[in-house]
Structures are given as structure tokens and as C-alpha cells.
Chains A and B, each alone.
Chain A
Amino acid sequence: MREDLAPELAPQLAVELGLKPAEYDKVVEILGRTPTVTELYMYSLMWSEHCSYKHSRKALRMFPTEGEHVLQGPGENAGVIGVGDGWALAFKMESHNHPSAIEPYQGAATGVGGIIRDIFTMGARPIASLNSLRFGTLDKPRQRYLFEGAVAGIGGYGNCLGVPTVGGEVYFDEAYEGNCLINAMSLGLMREEKLTSAVASGPGNLVLLIGSTTGRDGIGGASTLASQEFDEKAEDKRPSVQVGDPFEEKLLIEACLELLEEGLLVGLGDLGAAGLTSSASEMASRGGVGLDIDVTKIPAREEAMKPFEFMVSESQERMLAVLVPENLEAAQAVCTKWGLRSTVIGTVTDTGRFVVREGDEIVADMPAATLAHDAPIYDPAMTRPAYLDEVQVFDPITGVDHPGCEYVLDDIVLALLASPNICSRRWIWQQYDHQVMLNTVVLPGGDAAVLRIGDTGRGEMTERGVAVSSDCNGRYCYLDPYVGAQIAFAEAARNVVCSGGTPAAITDCLNFGNPEKPEVFWTFYEAIRGLSDACRAFGVPVISGNVSFYNESFGSPIYPTPTVGMVGVMEDVSKHCTVAFKAEGDVVFLLGETENEIGGSEYLKLAHGVVSGKPPALDLELEQAVQATVLAAIDAGLLRSAHDCSEGGLAVTLAECCMAGDLGADIHLDDDLPAYASLFSETQSRIVVTTTPEDAEKLVEIALEREIPYSIIGTVGGARLDIANRASLTLEQLREAWEPALERALAGA
């Protein structure tokens, strides 16, 4: 055993690596001696917030994680649900915020690479990606640089892999100026029997490292980047950002799926945060075994690398496989065919200990499970933030001067359509291959992405479909994290439902500030509570997810942003519904009812510069009834279009339906609200749908059965969106505002 750390220096190194004094003491207690440098690095990484969830673990237990469709809940690289006929979907969302804030192209690209490895590790072929992005406002050059770089990175990586990027969302708000959010979601498809686990088992089995060489890139990414706030030294952390090689990843996908298809592996894990340390210790502790790894066997990218560098390097595009010795030759032949390096770096043992050696000399020796599972679990202090009283007491109805006359409202409609938070996202999705694999039924720009389930060009194609959406309005969560998180869930579900999907399960990416601050942790706890309650009410479990803390810069946290990735299933994908108005004379319904709720709205921010008030209320029962109405109507073939009301309110929803269908509408709103409220209120549980005149009656019956409020608000037709006594604009005016807005904002205009 190498003793390379003097007992008096060890605590100091521990602090430098991010371990707290009590955590260091626990390491010493586990080992019964002073740790070596390698051991200290390994513990500090595995016990970082990013890897251990030490601040969030208890709160996350509130989530319901079981359901009839669930084949794999949280705890593996991704969750898996059954979608019928033996098909299964693996999916997960993950953050890559801090790397992207430093180097947006590579940060976002490797974020995509990481989440896709999580998917094919489960035995599933990645079939779709989504992303959820947050930046500061685009009037700042740095924000434009971050946004453009992140989009290019997501495209550059995903396009090369041949995995379509089919949807996502983006918001711009000052709250994200010092700390952008890059959340990447990926879905994979497999036959149920192919479900694979990242487990090491069978003493005597071999540990095979597949893919890229190991260098010094990304050392300490999980601890120095992901688990600390940003300050003026952020730029110095650039060397902690990894560089992606999507070509290598494409080869890894094909090789690993072939290895699994041929039944050559016992277990497969990917090397993500904390590199080899994390994947190896997690695989060992899942299998209740030990591992013996020799770092001199690891193909190195640089000279004179130290054992700890090998163990914690976050070099990308590497996979760890466990296999019986008899399969080694066949497995290496598959890797060689795909031009991939594969090297036996160790063996599975029955000791339960994770032993790392450099040739003959042991440099680390610890119980494997203590790395993965014995990180201290904290019960962080919570305090309701003081700012909440201030914002929630603000009455946005009386607190600002609202416009009354029609031509002013016209201008506000156009301004909302041109808001970077609402305008066309074409500039983004045109940079993503959103069609490869030929299963994209609804192109980007709708409420949810809709994909056909099928193994294109290799196996069976089906009539089944999947609808996916990711959502979160950070402003609502800032004003009330409990309600805001529920709205994130409800809106994601609403989007899926408007496309014809029945919500089946969610993944999440929980982006918050520093959990060691009681006010931040309170918002986290409330958001989890809200999300859990919504999941229970809908019977929709959380099957995977990710927590990203320390999203702060110069002491100021982002808006609480619990992004929800919702997956819905469809028996018959040909029944899917889109937002576009379809034909002259169709009847326009508003399901649900508008209240004067403009707290936290895009209107309040854009027209009055205010982010305050209470967010819209959410009645989970009503929400479910409205969604059930739409699903029943789609199933009965009654709906020509469906589009939910969200940011910007009813006016924006109607404008989007008109533009998508290249048809106007004649609308009469007989609510008793002031004009600004009926147009811009962001009341939840509202969906605009259309039917043929003949089918209108049948839709009314369904709405009455479900006891939801509804109104017939007009008819489709003409070349204007005319909302009587409130706003009247030509399709051309709408388009002129909505379509080029993002490009204009990026041009600094």
C-alpha cells in the first residue's frame, strides 16, 4: 500500500477537493487510516453533491416512482417504461449547466453525449433528444454567445450521432445571466427483454474499458464545476470542461448495442461525472462485489499521468463493460470492427473492495459500496425566503396601469409574439437534424414532439407512438415554487395530451441554487413537494432525473427551475393532433375558463417590466378533467387541432394556431374580464381546440360529461385574427412579429 499523504496534510487536501471536515473524518473512519491521494480524490468526487445527491436525497424520496408501466425506476443510468407489445422506452434528463456557462459549445455537446450514453447503457437505441435551455436576455453579447454556442454544440454532437433532436424549450431572463441552464433529455427504444443493468458481478470476470483514451481533461468536473457556485474565477475552470468526439460516441452506440445484442456482456456502464471511479464503484456496489483495477493498463492520452488522474478523469466517450473471460475475444472483435479501442483493465473480485493499483503497487483500497452509497446524507436547514412576502403581496391588477384601447392591445400582442420567450424557434431547430430515423411524425414547433415507435431499417415498425415535452416556467417557481413546479408538470402533460399522448411517466432536471442556503433549500423542498403531489394526482411516476445545485453566480441564485420531461404514449400514432387550424368554418372552443391571472406573466414582464404577484392557480382536478376531455375527443376523432394556453395567454395561443394553419379566425370572448386579462392572462387548464361544425355538438357532450367549463369562442377563416373589441391583426402582421424575432434579437437589433 502506497502511503503518499502525510496525516497532517491530508485534511488540507480534502478541503481543497471540496470535502467538508466531517466528511474527511468519515473517510478516515471507514479506512481506519490516513487516505492516499488517490483515495481522497475518489471519495471527494463520489461524495460531491453532483454524484451523491447528499443534500437532495431525502427530499427526493417524496416522489412516487412506481406504476404499472415502470420497468426500471430511479437508481440506474435511466428509467424505463413499457409502452406495449414488448416495446420499452428508456429516458432521462440531465444538466450540463456549469461547463456550458464556461464553454458553451463543448459544454452543451458533452451534455448531449453524456445523456445519450445513459440511454444506450440500458440496452436501448437512442431515438430522440430534447433540450431545455435558459439564458440571460439577448441584449447582452455574452448571452448571445452562450446561446449560439450551446445550440451549435447540441446540433454538432446530436447531428453527427444520427439521433434526431425533436423538441425542447428556451427562456431568456436576467435570472440566468450568470448561470445558464443546459438540460438535455434523451429517449431510447428497446425490446423489454434487452433491458440491461450497469452491474458488475461474477468474481473472476473481466473489466473492459471501451472507447477513448484517458487524459487529464475534466478532472474534478463534478466537484469543482458542478458542485460549487460561480465567482470571478469561473474562467480559470475552463480546463475542467471536457471536449466531445461525437464520431467516437456514434461508434460506441453501435458497438455496445451489438455487444448486448449478441449477449456478450454481464453489465455495461458509462463513464460520466467522476469518470472511472463513479461507474466502477456503482457497478461493483450494485453487484455486491469488489474490483481490482490496474491504472497502468488504461490507454493514456497524456504522459506521466498519476493514478488519481486516471481514476477521476472525465475524458468523454468511454464505456465500462463486465464480461466472462470466455467472451473476451468475441467482444474485442466487435470493438475492433467498429474501430474502437478495448482494454482489460481489471477483474471482478469477491472481496467487496475497490482496489486500484499502479502495476504492483496498491494506491487505493476501500470498500466499494462506501464510495457509491455511504456519502453523508444531509438534512439541510430550510427557511421560507423573505422575498416571497414581498412578491406575493403585490397585486398586478391594481399595481400597474393596464392598457384599454384596442390598438394598444394590438401592439402588445405583436410585442408578445416577438418576445424571445414566445417567438418562433425555427432558428434553433433548423440547426438540428430532427428527422433522421424517419419516425418524427410532428416536426418541431408544436406542443409536443410526436414519434412513431419503430426499429427503422432493422426490425419492426409499429402504429404506436410517443409524445414528449419538456417544460418549466422559472418565473412561476420563483413566485411560488410549490405551484410553479405543479404547473411545470401540468403544462408538460397538457402539451403531450394536445398531441394525443396519454401521460405515462416523467423525468426531471431540478436546477436550483446553493442548497446550503436555507432559503434556497426551502424552494427546492417546496418544488419537490409540488411536483410529487402533481405526480400522485395524475398517477404519473418519476422514473429518472437529475439534481443540479449551486446554480448561482456572485451569490445570486437562478430562479428555481424544476424542468419536467413528460413522456406520453399513443396506441395509434396516426391519430395525433397538431396546433394548426385546419379549415375555414371550423368551430373554435376554449376548454377551461380564463381568470384574471397575470402574476408572473410574460405580459407583466414585457409590458410593465415586473416579475411579481402570485403565479396562476392550478386546480389539479380541473386540469385532469380538461386533459381527459381532449384525449377522449382526439380518440373519438373529433379534434381538428389542439393547442394549450401558456406564456402570453389566449392571444398568443390563437395567433400560433392561425400562423401554423395559415388561416385566420373570428373570435368573440364573452368573459367579463378587462381586455388585457382575457388576452394575456396565463390561467392554467385551458386548451384551444377546433372541430368541424358537425362535430361541435359531440365535443360539447364530452365536455359536459367531464364537467369542465368551456365556451365556443369563434370560427376559423379569413386572413386575420380578429378578437372582437380586443385585437385585430392580419396573418402577415403576426408572422412579421413572430417568425424573425429570434434572429433579430441575435443580431443585436
Chain B
Amino acid sequence: MRFGVVIFPGSNCEQDVVHAAEVLGHEAGYIWHGDTDISGFDAIVLPGGFSYGDYIRCGAVARFSPVMAEVIRFAERGGPVIGICNGFQILAEAHLLPGALLRNRGLKFICTQTTLRVEENSCQWMDATPGTLLRIPINHNEGNYICDPETLERLQGNGQIVLRYCEADGSRAEGGSAPNGALDDIAGICNERGNVFGLMPHPERVVDPAVGITDGAVVFTSIARRLAEVV
């Protein structure tokens, strides 16, 4: 399959996503944010980074990039879209996913390994068995997920909370296991249809065995398997 990775001014993880996809035997290409043609890609990735410097509010400017209208149309037609880190922030700003990402509790940038628990596998981007633990790093200043109580209830009821931060043994600490303070330990959510996935951790960083563990591969292989089934 072929991943299309959008480059906004200030994106900085686009090359990592392309590399990860290629390591897994897939094709990947770049999409400039000013372009409006995204045909020829099976799935769209909004990568990490600091689009427009994260000035004003993370993702608040990037959602107005010309390519975003196409991405929104693609998603509405059921096309698979993933937003990683800054990409998740952009998806939230574009209202493709509910909620918002505040500054980390502690007000510091955090780059560290985290343990995540797979909560649901109805999302097209996650077919691992619920309860599976994944070690995937986070790298952000604004990853503190928040939403109103009704939205949270809906996310929980619909099985849209795909990944939660947890302790190394899979349990959740009483005061929360999210290093950034995220509500309900939320690390990644999908839309109701399951085709749009946003997560703060960086799965592309843990794919290439030459530089470490490979727990992030499942995100890319899940969607590949899913699309192979559909075809």
C-alpha cells in the first residue's frame, strides 16, 4: 500500500514516517501542504513536528492549509487518516477528532518511552488484541488530552479510546499513568467510523529494528491488513 505523508511548514517527522513505512515494505510519498491533489495514496499521515512553529496554538494554523480540505473530504469518504503528535493536534483543530491537547502537566516538554495498553481494536489503525502492551515513545509539549464529560462518555461508550498510557505491567496508576496528565490516560482516539486515528506517541520511532524495538509497526501493518481485506 502507499502512504501519503503531508509536509506542513514546520513538520519534522515526515521523513521518519516514510522510513518506517519503507522498512515495513510499503510505499510512501510526500504531499506538500499547499497541494490539493492527494489521489494515488491509500492512507494519509499527518506527521509530528511544529507546524507553523506551533505559534498561536498547536495545529491551529495548519488546519487551514489547502491540503486539509482534501484530507477532510478523504476522511469523510472513509479514507484512512492518522495524525501523530502534531498531526493529532491538527486533527483535533480540524474537528476530525473531538477534544483538545493542552500543555503537559508539569509544563515541560517530555521525550520518553511510555507503555501503552491497546483498549480497542475496532479502529482501522489498530488490530492488536485489547490488553496488548506497546512500548512507544512520546515527544511533545502539548499532549494533555482533554474533552468535556459528554464527549468522554461517548468515546468510552463507542470504543473510540484506542490507546491508554499505563504502567509497565499494564495497570493504571491511581493518580493517572499519563506522563502529560491526559484525561482518562488517553494516548490515542479514533472517530466513530474508525478510519481517523490520532495519537500523541510516535509509532514510527519504534519500527526499524536497527535502532531499537519494533512495537510501533502494528499501527502501519494494521491499516495495511485492513486495506488488503477491503480490496
**A162 with B53, Cβ < 8 A, contacts A156-B109, A435-B111, A436-B139 known:** no
CA of A251 to CA of B137 in the docked complex: distance in angstroms?
26
CA of A161 to CA of B48 in the docked complex: distance in angstroms?
11
The interface residues of chain B lying within 8 Å CB-to-CB of A337 are: 34
The interface residues of chain B lying within 8 Å CB-to-CB of A457 are: 14-19, 22, 28
Partner pick for B205 among A246, A438, A458, CB 8 A cutoff: A438
CA of A155 to CA of B9 in the docked complex: distance in angstroms?
19
Q: Which of B17, B55, B111, B139 has the most CB of A within 10 A?
A: B111
Inter-chain contact A441/B53, CB cutoff 8 Å: no
Inter-chain contact B53/A246, CB cutoff 8 Å: yes
A145 located at the interface, meaning its Cβ lies under 8 Å from any Cβ of chain B in the complex: no
A725 located at the interface, meaning its Cβ lies under 8 Å from any Cβ of chain B in the complex: no
A624 located at the interface, meaning its Cβ lies under 8 Å from any Cβ of chain B in the complex: no
Inter-chain contact B111/A161, CB cutoff 8 Å: no
CB distance from B144 to the nearest CB of A (A): 16
Binds B, one of A342-350, A406-414, A425-433: A425-433
Partner pick for A437 among B15, B34, B112, CB 8 A cutoff: B15
> 1/0 per position for A415-451, CB-CB distance to B under 8 A?
0000000000000011111111111110000000000
> 1/0 per position for A233-266, CB-CB distance to B under 8 A?
0000000000001111011000000000000000
Inter-chain contact A456/B15, CB cutoff 8 Å: yes
CA of A355 to CA of B10 in the docked complex: distance in angstroms?
37
CA of A140 to CA of B197 in the docked complex: distance in angstroms?
47
CA of A155 to CA of B107 in the docked complex: distance in angstroms?
13
B108 located at the interface, meaning its Cβ lies under 8 Å from any Cβ of chain A in the complex: yes
**A251 with B10, Cβ < 8 A, contacts A160-B53, A431-B109, A438-B211 known:** yes
B50 located at the interface, meaning its Cβ lies under 8 Å from any Cβ of chain A in the complex: yes
CA of A156 to CA of B178 in the docked complex: distance in angstroms?
22
How many A residues touch B, CB cutoff 8 Å? Answer: 36
CB distance from A508 to the nearest CB of B (A): 28
CB distance from A424 to the nearest CB of B (A): 13
CB distance from A439 to the nearest CB of B (A): 7
Chain A residues 320 to 355 lying within 8 A of chain B, measured CB to CB, are: 337-339
A397 located at the interface, meaning its Cβ lies under 8 Å from any Cβ of chain B in the complex: no
B49 located at the interface, meaning its Cβ lies under 8 Å from any Cβ of chain A in the complex: yes
A733 located at the interface, meaning its Cβ lies under 8 Å from any Cβ of chain B in the complex: no
**A245 with B53, Cβ < 8 A, contacts A430-B111, A431-B109, A438-B208 known:** yes
The interface residues of chain B lying within 8 Å CB-to-CB of A456 are: 15-16, 19
CA of A441 to CA of B212 in the docked complex: distance in angstroms?
7
Inter-chain contact B13/A461, CB cutoff 8 Å: no
Chain B residues 100 to 153 lying within 8 A of chain A, measured CB to CB, are: 108-112, 137, 139, 141
CA of A441 to CA of B211 in the docked complex: distance in angstroms?
5
CA of A156 to CA of B211 in the docked complex: distance in angstroms?
25
B52 located at the interface, meaning its Cβ lies under 8 Å from any Cβ of chain A in the complex: yes
The interface residues of chain B lying within 8 Å CB-to-CB of A152 are: 108-109
**A430 with B15, Cβ < 8 A, contacts A160-B10, A338-B9, A438-B211 known:** no
The interface residues of chain A lying within 8 Å CB-to-CB of B204 are: 438
A213 located at the interface, meaning its Cβ lies under 8 Å from any Cβ of chain B in the complex: no
CA of A429 to CA of B53 in the docked complex: distance in angstroms?
21
CB distance from B74 to the nearest CB of A (A): 22
CB distance from B128 to the nearest CB of A (A): 22
The interface residues of chain B lying within 8 Å CB-to-CB of A247 are: 9-10, 50, 52-55
CA of A152 to CA of B10 in the docked complex: distance in angstroms?
19
A720 located at the interface, meaning its Cβ lies under 8 Å from any Cβ of chain B in the complex: no
CB distance from B56 to the nearest CB of A (A): 11
**A574 with B210, Cβ < 8 A, contacts A156-B109, A434-B111, A437-B16 known:** yes
The interface residues of chain B lying within 8 Å CB-to-CB of A161 are: 12
Partner pick for B109 among A159, A440, A573, CB 8 A cutoff: A159
The interface residues of chain B lying within 8 Å CB-to-CB of A436 are: 12-13, 16, 48, 139, 205
Some 17 contacts from A to B, beta carbons below 8 A apart, are A155-B109, A159-B141, A160-B53, A247-B10, A247-B53, A247-B54, A338-B9, A430-B108, A430-B111, A431-B109, A431-B111, A433-B139, A438-B205, A457-B18, A461-B210, A573-B210, A574-B210
The 4 closest A-B pairs by CB, nearest first: A162-B12, A247-B53, A457-B15, A457-B18
Residues of chain A whose beta carbon lies under 8 Å from any beta carbon of chain B: 152, 155-156, 159-162, 245-248, 250-251, 337-339, 429-441, 452, 456-458, 461, 573-574
Residues of chain B whose beta carbon lies under 8 Å from any beta carbon of chain A: 9-10, 12-20, 22, 28, 34, 48-50, 52-55, 108-112, 137, 139, 141, 202, 204-205, 208, 210-212
**Given A250-B53, A436-B16, 5 extra CB contacts under 8 A:** A159-B50, A162-B13, A436-B139, A440-B211, A457-B18
